Amino acid sequence: MTTAFERTPPGMRLLRSVYDCAIIGFPRILDDRGNLTFIEQLRHIPFRIARAYWIYDVPGGESRGGHAYRELEECVVALSGSFDVFLDDGTAQKVVHLNRAYNGLYIPKMIWRHMRHFSTNAVALVLASLPYSEADYIRDYQDFKKRNGQ
């Protein structure tokens, strides 16, 4: 199945940029009884979903994230409330405000990210391309910059 997203040819290293991160609008079925949105892997997001998790009950002033992934891709959705996603490729930075359950933020591998400014009762759904692996995390920003060619 083809997608609207480009894939890197095998064996070719592609440096990722914050400009590769993009808002994806998901289908919306509007109904007076309540609206419905859905997400299909490889159709609406450019990867197979291997894991889903959600972040909630974040205390005021706290942030989440503060890392990059070597291989994992993500799509982050504000199911309820709002929050900001700070993106950094080692050179450029970008902030994306999420506050609609019908939009997701696609984040490719090798992008440093953290989330903050969570509103009361915010819920962040994260769809991930790989199962959890501590070895995939880069938790030191200077190490991230070196690995990203900075």
**Residues belonging to the active site:** 67
pTM higher than the cut 0.85:
yes
| pLDDT tens per residue, range 98-149 | 999 999 999 999 999 999 999 999 999 999 999 999 999 999 999 999 998 7
Kindly tell me the sign of the dihedral angle through the C-alpha atoms of 12, 113, 94, 119.
Answer: positive
Residue 147 three-state SS:
helix
Counting Cα atoms < 13 Å in the Cβ hemisphere of 104 gives 24
User: Token match 């050179």: residue?
Assistant: 91
Distance CA 56, CA 80 (A): 9
Q: Which CATH number fits domain 18-147: 1.20.1740.10, 3.40.50.300, 1.20.1290.10, 2.60.120.10?
A: 2.60.120.10
In tens, the pLDDT along 59-95 reads 988 999 999 999 999 999 999 999 999 999 999 999 9
Residues sharing a CB contact under 8 Å with residue 77, sequence separation 6 or more, in sequence order: 39, 98, 101, 103, 104, 105, 124, 125, 126, 127
Q: What is the pLDDT of residues 6-38, one digit of tens each?
A: 454 554 445 689 999 999 999 999 999 999 999
